[in-house]
Structures are given as structure tokens and as C-alpha cells.
Amino acid sequence: MFHLTLEGDVEELLLARDRVARETGIWLFGNLKPVEGRAAGRAELSMGTASLALGDEEIAAAIEMLLAPA
């Protein structure tokens, strides 16, 4: 488990997370907590057995989709 801080509006990041999940079937993170004093959110990431079946390219594409402008 580790923490990831994403810069941007928390609501927009959550919408992007949901879009990635719908389009790829990859759930990148659960809750995203706002970072006080910044336009950013912090997520806790846990890597389970299912994540071992994903290739590097699939994970990179999902993250690129998450961070791409809507």
C-alpha cells in the first residue's frame, strides 16, 4: 500500500477515475481525499492479486487516460 497525490480538482479527478474504470475495467483507486490548501487529492493505493494480470502498457494507458484533459 502507498499514497498517491494527484494535482487537480478532486471532483474532476473522481469523474476521470470513473471514466477510466468504465472504459478499461481498471479501478485505479477508491476514495480521494482533498489536500488542505491545495487543488489536489490523496488516494491510498493497494495492489492486489488481480493487478498482477495487468501489463505495464495497460497500467500506463489507464494513468494517461486519468490525467488527460476531459
Q: Calculate the dihedral angle through the C-alpha atoms of 52, 64, 1, 29, rounding to the nearest 10 degrees.
A: -100
Question: Cell digits for 35?
Answer: 489536500
- Give me the tens of pLDDT residue by residue for the chain, a chain 70 residues long: 899 999 999 999 999 999 999 999 999 999 999 999 999 999 998 888 988 899 999 999 999 999 998 7
Question: Which pLDDT does position 46 carry in this prediction?
Answer: 87
Pick the CATH number of 2-67 from 3.30.413.10, 3.90.1150.10, 3.40.50.300, 3.40.50.10490: 3.90.1150.10
Domain boundaries, the chain: 2-67
